[in-house]
Amino acid sequence: MPFVAYWGAPIVDADDDATMSLALDELMPRGSLPGGLDQECAIGLVPMHGDGWVGRPGLQGHRRGGTSWAPRFKNAQVIPLGGGGIGCVVTVQDDVAELELALRVELCVSGALSIQATIRNVGLQRYSLDALTITLPMPRRATRLTTFHGRWCKEMRRDTSDWKVGAWTAENRRGRTSHEYPPLVFAQTDTASAVSGEVWALHTAWSGNHVTLAERLADGRRYIQMGELLHSGEICLEAGETYTTPRIVGAYSSMGDSGVAQVMQAEVRSMRDPLSSRPVTLNTWEAVYFNHEPDTLHQLAHVAADVGVERFVLDDGWFLGRRNDSAGLGDWYVDPVVYPHGLAPLIDTVKSRGMQFGLWLEPEMLNPDSDLYRAHPDWVLEHAGYPHVLGRHQLVLNLTIPEAYEYILRRIDALLTEHDISYLKWDMNRPHVAAANPRGTAATHAQTKVLYMLLDEIRFLHPGVEIESCSSGGGRIDHEILRRTERVWTSDTNDPILRQAIQHHTSLLVPPEMMGCHIGAPTAHTTNKTSTLTFRAITAMFGHLGIEWNLLHATPTELEELRAVVALHKELRHLLHSGQVIFTTMFADSDGEYLAHGVASTDLSRAVMAVSRLLDIKADAPPNLRIVGLDHRRQYKVSCLLGQPLGGDYVVSHHSGYDIEHNGLEILSMPPESAVLLMLESS
């Protein structure tokens, strides 16, 4: 069984035996320990109990009667990757258990590590697979563990602690990537920070159920294991059949969080063609909710165009019987009561003002109060024979049923064919509960694969249409969904205080141009907290900018300020959406009172930084803003683009990149819940 012998900083001289010995020392298997086996078992990519591995096995399963439960693979065959890829496929066999395991390991152009495993049943009898996960050893100097958790409107909370003896595990059974346990984990040295120290980050690129285990063994060794979580009986391999794990994506950084973000963002960008300039978007949800009155929407479209909006997205409430969230899901026809002339007049207004038109859908769901459910109650993804378990009055539509899949595909195809629609906001608001196919066996894995197939087919039929991944906000954000979508809705909250940390941590995985970040109304819909337009605007500036606000209620002064903000974003968006992310230690240095982040151009000639004061903790002046990663040899002109500190204003100043990194920029005092936007340009 292959194992990772070294994963870290580049080894300067691979021919130097002393250097190699030091580099490999922490992860190589050692000899016997007192009271143990004669030879310590290496932490393989799929460690096996039959080889003497005493942690959690990477492969778990059995044949009828409980046999073949502890395989032992041998006879490794190694085939280098073709097409210029750096890596190989290692295939191992177990003739007794009649199984074949193939491991694909690649070092990607982005710098990310990518690993997948495929198990094949080479016997005649069915093999029931319970788990197949990827395992990576961590060096003993990785003494701290960072994990992420959250909930609706509080996505991507972060927790860092000492890595103690024993196991930390998170199991997600919600049928989506989830708010609660985003599949991202860091092992790090005790000196790691936002900008320095070693970090080993792993991510499961999968939009369904998943499991993460981080264990420190009693002998001091450490490992992280990740993959898909399989329900009982979900994967049963008949003769010749295979199962392939999700991709496990790894990023090593010697620059703390900042290096992880740069590798993970580069990996996402490398998976697809470069995106066109991201259009400023207005979404109608918090403007009108379910109150779809065509005249109001026409007026809203005109005001949106006047402030510089380039894409107008009609959210929930346009389809048959949809007056609230209890009915209509599944009936994807324009409601003739609300839109007696269809969507064409509104689309014409939007297009006449130079904007694209987008539409909200939730194709994976249905309401019991819908024509679709009344016609096909057997199309629900659940174990038959039990009462429904509703979530937001919803059930999950079983897309693994060919007729249900075909119905949804044809309805979406018809909407996109009959209307000039450039964009779909694809939502998913209800987690899986006892998701089963008509035979009663677990089906979340199959539903996730079919979702990917549906998205791929829609993109084939309508290649010019962009798709946003939304799942009650940030419930479906991962690298695999980002292969098929141009944007994720980062959170359902537009409260800038909450958004600051959510966006900051989401950027560890997602580049700014793919994170939906909206300027909400003065009073946030989800928290009822009021904030200034400047604070809301600076918070939303570092993503795919949008507006979630009934502009018909905005004052003339607010509209003028908003117009200026949109114009500023358009000036900056090429830099914001093509550069590399910059983190700082300001958040940690100020006990969470201040948060600073930014983006630098790839040639380091320019950078845009936001400094926000989130809380009112100390009376001290804010810490200096030290920015790591600028060109030490250049002089940077520093100016303020947006925001007003207390008792003064920023004046244009000049600093070297070296001075900015080691001494920092002085940040003027600002009130809580405010921000400034700084520009640094080399002279």
Tell me whether residue 9 is in a domain: no
Average pLDDT over all residues of the chain: 95
DSSP string of 571-624?
Answer: HHHHHHTTSEEEE-SHHHHTTTSEEEEEEE-TTSSEEEEEEEE-----SSPPPP
Confidence of residue 39 (pLDDT cuts 50, 70, 90): confident
Same-domain status, 642 and 531: no
Same-domain status, 534 and 442: yes
Same-domain status, 517 and 585: no
Tell me whether residue 103 is in a domain: yes
Q: What percentage of the chain exceeds 90 in pLDDT?
A: 91
Rounded-to-integer distance, Cα 168 and Cα 498, Å = 27
Same-domain status, 365 and 399: yes
Same-domain status, 610 and 661: yes
Tokens 């290496």 appear where? 42
Confidence of residue 648 (pLDDT cuts 50, 70, 90): confident
Nearest to 83 by CA among 103, 109, 65, 61: 109
Same-domain status, 328 and 213: no
Given 244, 270, 296, the domain boundary residue is 270
Higher model confidence: residue 401 or residue 27? 401
What pLDDT, on the 0 to 100 scale, is given for residue 40? 81
Tell me whether residue 362 is in a domain: yes
Same-domain status, 213 and 112: yes
Assess contact for 438 and 396: CB atoms under 8 A: no
Tell me whether residue 419 is in a domain: yes
569-574, Cβ contacts within 8 angstroms, sequence gap of 24 or more: 569/280, 569/541, 569/545, 570/280, 570/308, 572/541, 572/608, 573/277, 573/278, 573/513, 573/545, 574/277
Given 560, 579, 598, the domain boundary residue is 579
Nearest to 551 by CA among 348, 301, 359: 301
The count of other CB atoms within 10 Å of the CB of residue 277 is 11
The domain that holds 599 is classified in CATH as 2.60.40.1180
* pLDDT of 26 strictly over 70: no
Nearest to 614 by CA among 674, 680, 562: 674
* 467-to-464, 478, 577, 583, 604 alpha-carbon distances in Å: 10, 15, 18, 29, 32
What pLDDT, on the 0 to 100 scale, is given for residue 13? 72
Same-domain status, 527 and 652: no
What pLDDT, on the 0 to 100 scale, is given for residue 82? 86
What pLDDT, on the 0 to 100 scale, is given for residue 376? 98
Confidence of residue 85 (pLDDT cuts 50, 70, 90): confident
What pLDDT, on the 0 to 100 scale, is given for residue 683? 82
The domain that holds 305 is classified in CATH as 3.20.20.70
* pLDDT of 20 strictly over 80: no
Exposure string over 414-424, b if 16+ CB within 10 A, otherwise e: ebbeebebbbb
Rounded-to-integer distance, Cα 593 and Cα 406, Å = 52
Question: What does the pLDDT look like over 502-549, one tens digit per residue?
Answer: 999 999 999 999 999 999 999 999 999 999 999 999 999 999 999 999
Q: Which of the residues 51, 331, 427, 589 is marked catalytic?
A: 427
Question: What does the pLDDT look like over 460-470, one tens digit per residue?
Answer: 999 999 999 99
Same-domain status, 371 and 433: yes
Question: What does the pLDDT look like over 185-243, one tens digit per residue?
Answer: 999 999 999 999 999 999 999 999 999 999 999 989 999 999 999 999 999 999 999 99
Tell me whether residue 442 is in a domain: yes
Tell me whether residue 227 is in a domain: yes
Same-domain status, 236 and 289: no
What pLDDT, on the 0 to 100 scale, is given for residue 362? 98
Given 558, 579, 600, the domain boundary residue is 579
What pLDDT, on the 0 to 100 scale, is given for residue 230? 98
The residue-averaged pLDDT of 280-295 equals 98
Question: What does the pLDDT look like over 473-505, one tens digit per residue?
Answer: 999 999 999 999 999 999 999 999 999 999 999
Q: Does the active-site annotation cover 492?
A: yes
Phi, psi angle pair for 200, to nearest 5°? -115, 110
What pLDDT, on the 0 to 100 scale, is given for residue 32? 67
Same-domain status, 136 and 84: yes
Q: Which of the residues 51, 315, 492, 589 is marked catalytic?
A: 492
* pLDDT of 404 strictly over 90: yes
Same-domain status, 264 and 358: no
Strands laid side by side in the 594-600 sheet: 580-583, 594-600, 606-613, 674-682, 635-642, 653-656
Tell me whether residue 171 is in a domain: yes
DSSP bridge pairs for 160: 146
Domain range for 649: 581-682
Q: Three-class SS of residue 213?
A: strand
Tell me whether residue 5 is in a domain: no
Nearest to 485 by CA among 423, 411, 400: 423
The residue-averaged pLDDT of 45-72 equals 96
Number of independent structural domains in the chain: 3
The domain that holds 202 is classified in CATH as 2.70.98.60
